[in-house]
């Protein structure tokens, strides 16, 4: 049996660190909360892009079931962030009737 030299071990460690985002974490509860917190800090465009990338990876990959579940949960957090941002924007959208310019804008309701 050949022991890895310190330089080989360092390379393996560096490789593992660079791939850590692609590997499912061992503790799901902590990971899911962390993913949700990260998603909440994203702009709409960032969350939408992350959602699209997650969905593409789910569709194109032969991931183990555990990793698929984690990726699905991240995608769900990104989708919820997009929805929250759109809800906020919807609340600020107002209708203004140009035929009555002195009247204040009214909230939009579909």
Alpha helices in 1-110 (DSSP H): 6-18, 28-40, 44-60, 65-92
Q: Is the pTM of this model over 0.75?
A: no
Residue 101 included in any domain:
no
Residue 15 included in any domain:
no
Q: What is the pLDDT of residue 84?
A: 94
How many whole angstroms from its chain centre is CA 35? Answer: 7
Residue 102 included in any domain:
no
Structure tokens at 19: 């791939």
Residue 82 included in any domain:
yes
Tally of domains within the chain = 1
Mean pLDDT (the chain, rounded): 74
The contacts of residue 103 (CB under 8 Å, 6+ apart) are 97
Which whole-number Å values give the CA distances from 64 to 11, 86, 94, 108, in the listed order? 25, 33, 47, 45
Residues of the chain where predicted confidence (pLDDT) is lower than 50: 1-27
Residue 66 included in any domain:
yes
Residue 38 included in any domain:
yes
Q: What domain range is 70 assigned to?
A: 25-92
Residue 99 included in any domain:
no
């Amino acid at each position: 049996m050949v022991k890895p030299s310190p330089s080989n071990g360092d390379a393996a460690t560096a490789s593992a660190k660079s791939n850590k985002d692609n590997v499912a974490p061992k503790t799901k509860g902590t990971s899911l909360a962390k993913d949700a917190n990260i998603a909440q800090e994203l702009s709409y465009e960032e969350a939408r892009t992350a959602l699209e990338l997650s969905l593409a990876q789910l569709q194109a990959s032969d991931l183990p079931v555990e990793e698929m579940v984690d990726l699905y949960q991240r995608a769900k957090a990104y989708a919820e962030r997009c929805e929250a941002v759109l809800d906020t924007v919807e609340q600020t959208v107002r209708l203004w009737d140009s035929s009555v310019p002195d009247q204040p804008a009214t909230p939009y309701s579909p």
